[in-house]
Chains A and B, each alone.
Chain A
């Protein structure tokens, strides 16, 4: 069968089981857009290429399948650089296809030419510039294999226009042959036995759980391990939902804005059982003072993460689900099986004391009429069916969302962790809703973030993707404002945005959404209930929240986690 390179590309995506492409056409990718008309693959036409990338990420975060985005060359390719960098930091599987000028024009500074593979080399797991149409099926198969195997991540295929038009003999490779890419998935048995012994001996262990647990589909195994050992669990920002918040062993989120118990239990721990986490600086605080007495078991599928930041006493390379399952077995077998587990009762009792003394808290007194963002998210969480998906942008609202939404399931929290990409929420929520149309998808967004990518709500309206946006409008770049208040003597520099410029209700309506404005606490619940009933178009609720509200607790930058600042409302109950 003779196909053009473009036809082969679309057919290869079909062979990979791709059901949706997020994209926007242009000159160099034109030939590839023609066969899309005849393909069963759904194409969602975005309004900006960054939106296509974040939608593909949101799709991948809730389905654990690779998201696919397709854009043209030059400025379109550079517009999708941010999503690539974001997906690389958060290990999100994504395949991006970019058009490229014809091979004969590459290097001549042709119209809409950019060195896309060069630009994206350090923010992709790998990228390919196709130079002959016969390579297309092989490269697509390799690209999906690399994006989804080992530590997941983004890849990019650069497709010159003449290659798209070139004829080739269709084939589909039976296997991928990449001699330089053979991820280790099975943990080393001896290391697992050593880990089991250490777990039995430890008196103050903590399961330090990162986003890798969600990527590996290891939540079930983690639950079994936690319940078998009775060891408490902290879930990082990327791992919210990997372990249910309602479980008595769940301590919640650690880190710069983590709760007191999660932060302090890690600080005082004698053993951090680190599963698919990477000792991010937002978790460790000042590294020299982080968990000084803890030994470290570190499980990760990426060997380069082991001992990168914190020296591991027992490094284990492997798929975290497989390693947890082996670890559960090892606890009952051999030398470790004969050992009695240390008594954790004093440790758990200490943890319960911390939880009672220092719960997450804010000013619940509504008498002054100020609308607190925490109250909005608590209400949103309680009025929205369990199992719904929450997306978020980056900043104060993201931290409040992570603190006050109740996370019970994996793949139900869509946020930008490592790169901290403002504007992530709206497009990522749209991608998530496309991936899980059966779920309610809410995005919590800030006014600063919303203005960066809100135009994708036009995409959502046009494509009938009924996402819901809870816009927390405090008229400021809130997190920056908080830092200027706390660390720059309240010298506010370029952080004021205005509460009503733009008029968010009019703007949302102009984009085809139902729009509501909420200014008082008693209006919160009715607005959310109304939004939850709308299922035929996007909804935006603008919440005019208290501008002065800050995120607490907080570990100041450069401080150790022992120096956690609890905020004005803590103290109560001590």
Chain B
């Protein structure tokens, strides 16, 4: 998707700026668990020229609802417009804007890495340091799994890359607001509107 969004007066961007220099923000979107909801959300982003950096979707503990965790590229549109347009979807119940600084985030990485006899020990050392897991062992390859913050996944990928990455699959992040301990700021949830 490319940036074709309307030009709007820029607003302050509370989101984190990733290593790539792109400003991201996390939206946790509670939707009705109905056919076509994902299509509605994806179509809205496409039609309004908003860029999705990553998207994770799964049912919640209440089977009537699903939760989408959308990482939005804020260079494509101001967050306020994105959330307002999302609110207009009838199946969207609640949107929680999560500032990465106030969020707990996790993402899952699966990686197939070249691991012959000479390098296997060093790779397993990194697996131990990062708390990753070995899911599968081949004669000259290992399949590794790591569930951690997106940044840790970046670091881990960087370090195992030198051994020869054969395949990498990431899940996209899921996030929840940090728990309020009295003084901290939680995620800001917004009521529904037309």
On A, residues with C-beta under 8 Å from B are 117-118, 121-122, 125-126, 129, 146, 149-151, 178-184, 287, 301-304, 306-309, 311, 317
Contact = CB atoms under 8 A, between A and B. Distances in A.
Contacts of B129: none
Contacts of A307: 8-9, 80
Contact of B47 (A118, A122, A125, A183): A122
B81 A180 contact: no
Given A122-B43, A307-B8, A307-B9, A183 B193 contact: yes
B35 interface: yes
Contacts of A150: 193-194
Contact of A180 (B6, B35, B80, B89): B89
A183 B80 contact: no
B32 interface: yes
Contacts of B32: 179-180
A180 B84 contact: no
Nearest to A178: B90
Contacts of A149: 194
A491 B161 CA distance: 61
Nearest to A155: B90
A304 B35 contact: no
B184 interface: no
Given A180-B32, A183-B193, 12 more contacts: A118-B36, A118-B39, A121-B43, A122-B44, A129-B35, A149-B194, A180-B31, A302-B193, A302-B194, A304-B87, A307-B8, A309-B6
B5 to A, nearest CB: 10
B119 interface: no
B40 interface: yes
A307 B7 CA distance: 11
Contact of A151 (B35, B81, B194): B194
A151 B35 CA distance: 25
Most buried by B among A129, A181, A302, A309: A181
Q: How large is the interface on B (under 10, 10 to 19, 20 to 34, 35 or more residues)?
A: 20 to 34
Nearest to B91: A180
Nearest to B190: A303
B192 interface: yes
Contact of B90 (A126, A129, A301, A306): A126
Interface of B: 6-9, 31-32, 35-36, 39-40, 43-44, 47, 80-81, 84-85, 87-93, 191-194
A308 B6 contact: yes
A118 B6 CA distance: 24
B91 A303 contact: no
Given A122-B43, A122-B44, A180-B93, A301 B194 contact: yes
Contact of B7 (A118, A122, A184, A287): A287
Contacts of A151: 194
24 contacts: A118-B36, A121-B43, A122-B44, A122-B47, A125-B88, A126-B90, A178-B90, A179-B93, A180-B31, A180-B89, A180-B92, A180-B93, A180-B192, A181-B90, A183-B193, A302-B88, A302-B193, A303-B194, A308-B6, A308-B8, A308-B81, A309-B8, A311-B8, A311-B9
A182 B193 contact: yes
A121 B39 contact: yes
B87 A303 contact: yes
A512 to B, nearest CB: 42
A122 B39 CA distance: 10
Given A121-B43, A180-B192, A182-B193, A304 B9 contact: no
Nearest to B94: A180
A121 B90 CA distance: 12
The 3 tightest CB contacts between A and B, nearest first, are A150-B194, A183-B194, A304-B84
Contacts of B44: 122
Contacts of B81: 304, 308
Q: In this complex, which of B7, B36, B191, B193 has the most chain A Cβ atoms within 10 angstroms of its Cβ?
A: B193
Nearest to A121: B43
Contacts of B47: 122
A121 B81 CA distance: 19
Contacts of A125: 88, 90
B77 to A, nearest CB: 10
Contacts of A303: 84, 87, 193-194
A146 B90 contact: yes
Nearest to A146: B90
Contacts of A126: 89-91
Contacts of A301: 194
A301 B8 CA distance: 20
Given A121-B43, A308-B6, A308-B81, A317 B91 contact: no
A216 to B, nearest CB: 12
Contacts of B7: 287
Nearest to B47: A122
Contacts of A309: 6, 8
Q: Quick one: which of B31, B85, B192 has the most chain A CB within 10 A? A: B192
B47 to A, nearest CB: 5
A122 B84 CA distance: 15
Given A121-B39, A121-B40, A180 B90 contact: yes
A390 B44 CA distance: 35
Contacts of B31: 180
A129 B34 CA distance: 11
Contact of B85 (A181, A304, A306): A304
Contacts of B91: 126, 180
